[in-house]
Amino acid sequence: MSDPLPQFVLRGHVDAVNSVDFVLPGHLISGSGDGNVKLWSLETQRAVASISAHAASVISVKALSASQFAT
C-alpha cells in the first residue's frame, strides 16, 4: 500500500504548522511556529486572513465558531 498523495499544499506560514482545524465547509485554520493563525479557503487554496496570535509558537488551534477560535 503506497502513501496517499496530497491534493494540494497550502503555503503561507514561515515555520512548521503545528495544528489545523476545519471551520465551516470549505475553510480551515492553522497555527504555526511563526506565531500566526491563518484562515484558509480550500476552494481558492489561499489564506483569507492572518492573525499574529503569539510572540512564540502556536501549539494548538481550535475553531469555536465561524468567527472565533482558541489557541
Residue 10 in any domain: the answer is no
Instruction: Note the Cα 3 to chain centre separation in Å.
Output: 23
Structural domain containing residue 53: 17-61
Mean pLDDT estimate for the chain? 93
Band (54; pLDDT cuts 50, 70, 90) = confident
Q: How far apart are CA 1 and CA 43, in angstroms?
A: 29
Band (44; pLDDT cuts 50, 70, 90) = very high
Residue 50 in any domain: the answer is yes
Residue 23 in any domain: the answer is yes
pLDDT at 1 over 80: no
pLDDT at 35 over 80: yes
pLDDT at 45 over 90: yes
Closest-CA residue to 34 (of 11, 50, 58) = 58
